[in-house]
A = this chain, B = another copy of it.
């Protein structure tokens, strides 16, 4: 889905760079700046440094004078603001709002917007009322009520993350090694018998008064859910214990 991030009257070049990076790691690249403090903000050193490789987002970004010019092709506008406004759109947590907007894979929403924009106000003053009034929802990132001072690029990062997840997300990286098969209960029981012999041989377990040692070890290994390979290692340990005990008794 077409997704745009709109920064309104941003003061700090570092935040513009940080925003570009935050967008790009979540696979978004449509950035519009409305009346930023610095006209050359897209080329400032701090911007490029904080973008840390997200240069294509900066290259593609547009600078415009008014919010109106930033809204072409967008049907659904989300404000991000700490403080709910009288007469403003309903305030929602991002995850709930995105789920309502898109539905779920099982039950997709009947009408989805074709394009969505997220609006972020200036670092010092947040969003103006008149910009909030235009929006369909006001997203409130759930932060500690005692300290809600979220950095601008961090707010972009969280919204971009939740939105990407709502759109389906990214898969885990492929495992570097294939998943190893878990040992079955028979293999575990065989290993425990082997280990029991070894524990007797090294005089740790008294077969006349075994107490609950083996059931305890059984529970411990159940929780660990060992793989076949790990069972093999543990059997090797038991074997070495038995051999050493045999040598000690010679």
Taking Cβ atoms with an 8 Å cutoff, the residues of A that contact B are 18, 21-22, 24-27, 50, 52-54, 82-87, 91-93, 95, 140-151, 153-154, 157-158, 161, 164-165, 169-177
Contact A143/B170 with A149-B21, A150-B25, A154-B153 known, Cβ cut-off 8 Å: yes
Q: How many copies of this chain does one complex carry? A: 2
Name 7 extra pairs, CB < 8 A, besides A24-B149, A142-B165. A18-B151, A18-B154, A25-B149, A26-B144, A83-B176, A151-B157, A154-B154
Can you list 27 A-B pairs, Cβ within 8 angstroms, ordered by A? Answer: A18-B154, A21-B151, A21-B154, A24-B149, A25-B144, A25-B147, A25-B148, A25-B149, A25-B150, A26-B144, A52-B151, A53-B147, A83-B176, A84-B174, A85-B176, A86-B177, A87-B177, A91-B175, A92-B172, A93-B169, A140-B173, A141-B161, A142-B164, A142-B170, A145-B170, A151-B153, A153-B154
If over half of A's interface residues share one DSSP class (helix, strand or loop), that class is named, otherwise mixed; here it is loop
What 3 pairs between A and B have smallest CB-CB spacing? A27-B144, A142-B170, A25-B143
CB A215 to nearest CB in B, in angstroms, measures 18
Residues in B neighbouring A26, C-beta threshold 8 A = 143-144
A25 nearest CB neighbor, chain B only: B143
**Minimal Cβ-Cβ distance residue in B for A93:** B172
Report the separation of the CA atoms of residues A175 and B24 in the bound assembly, to the nearest whole angstrom: 33
Return the chain B residue nearest A82 by Cβ.
B173
